[in-house]
Amino acid sequence: MITIDKISLGSYQGQEVYQYTLQNSIGFKVSVLNLGGIITQIIVKDKHDMPKNVVLGYKDFETYIGNGAYAGAIVGRTSGRIANATFQIDGETYHLDKNNGENSLHGGVAGLTHQLFQVETLADGITLRYHSPDGEGGYPAAVDFEVTYKITEANTLAITYTATVDARTYINLTHHNYFNLAGDSAVNGDEQLLQIDADKVCELKDGLIPTGNFIDVTHTAFDLRQPKLLKEGIAEGHSQFAITRAYDHPFVLNPHSGLSQKPQVVLHSPHSGITMKAYTTQPVAVIYTGNYLDDVPVFDAFSDEKEKSTANARYAGVAIELQDYPDGINQPAFGTKIVEKGAVYKQESIYKFFNN
C-alpha cells in the first residue's frame, strides 16, 4: 500500500511550501516539494537492509532558492542552455532570460524550478500543476504544465511530464536529481559505476553549447556502453573536458521502442549495493558529474556527517538529465520539433531501484 504524508515547511512569496512524502510498504520513500517539484530525498534500502538517501539535497527549502545546482528540481520550460538566449518560431525571434553569460540556462529566472505548483494527491503519487502565461521568461504561448510522480511496491519512481499549449512553442523538460547511490554520501559520487546505451555524444563548444556535431564514443572516455567507474572515466580524460571539467554532455540514447524492458541508463554503487535502472521516452541523457558542486551551498549529507564542511566535494553526485537535445531548436541536425498549438507534449522517465 502506498501512503502519502504532507507537511508544511513555511511560506515563500506569500504561499505555503509543502513537502509530500510517498512511501511503499517496504520503506522505499520519495519526498517532493510543491516548490519546483523538488525531490528532497529518495530513500532506498542498501545491501545491509539499511535505509539510505540516494540523492543530494537540503533540509531547509530556503537553501534551494536561487541555488545554481538545481538540485532535485523540475527543469523547464527548457533544459540546458539556449545559445544567445534566443530562438525563432515562424520568423519571430524570442528573447529569453540571460542567466548564464550570454545564454539562457534551464528555463531562465522564471523557470519551473522557481515556481510553486498546485498539487493533487493520487492513490499512488501526486500531480503538480502550473500555468505559465504567454511571455513568461520570454517564451511564447500560455502553457499548462502537469508533472506526476508515482511510486510502486517494486521500488519504482515514475515521472510523467505533460504540457498543453495555446500557440506554437518550444518545450524540453527534465528532472535534475544528483544521485549518489552510496547513500547519505558515504563515499563520493565518482565512486559509482555508470552504463549508458549510447554510441555517440554531442560535441560542445565554449559556453557548453552543442556544435551540432557528434562524437563517436568508441575508444574514448565517453564509451559507457559497459559499466565504467566515473572517477576512472574522468581520469582518462578527453579534449572536451577542457570545456566542461569532466562529464557534462548529452549522450544520444540508442533508439528504443518507448519504455522498453531494456534500461537506457544504469547506475550502481559498489559501496551500498544499490543499483538504479532508468528508462525514458526522451532521446538524450545529459550526464553531469557535479563538476562545480564545490561552488554551491553545502548539501546536508556533508554538513551533518562530515563535521560541517565548508564546501561540497567535487563530483559529489551525478545528475542524469533525461531530456531532448539541449538547444535543439537552434540545431537543425538534432531534428527537434516544436509543440503545435493545441497539442500535448508528453514524456516519461522511470527509475527502478534494487539492492544486492
d(CA 125, CA 12): 24
Any residues with CB less than 8 A from the CB of 125 and at least 6 apart, and which? 2, 4, 22, 148, 149, 150, 151, 158
Coil vs helix vs strand at 229: strand
d(CA 112, CA 135): 14
Q: Which of 136, 238, 268, 321 is catalytic?
A: 321
Query: E strands within 65-142?
Result: 74-75, 81-82, 86-89, 92-95, 104-105, 118-121, 125-132
| First-to-last C-alpha distance (Å) of the chain | 24
Residue 203 annotated to the active site = no
**What's the one-letter identity of residue 27?**
G
Q: Which residue in the block uniquely carries the three cell numbers 528555463?
A: 107
Coil vs helix vs strand at 153: coil
d(CA 83, CA 94): 12
Q: Among 181, 158, 177, 194, which Cα is nearest to 46's? A: 181
CB-based burial of residue 245 (10 Å sphere; 0-12 exposed, 13-18 middle, 19+ buried)? middle
Residue 256 annotated to the active site = no
Q: Which of 114, 175, 176, 238 is catalytic?
A: 176
Catalytic residues: 176, 321
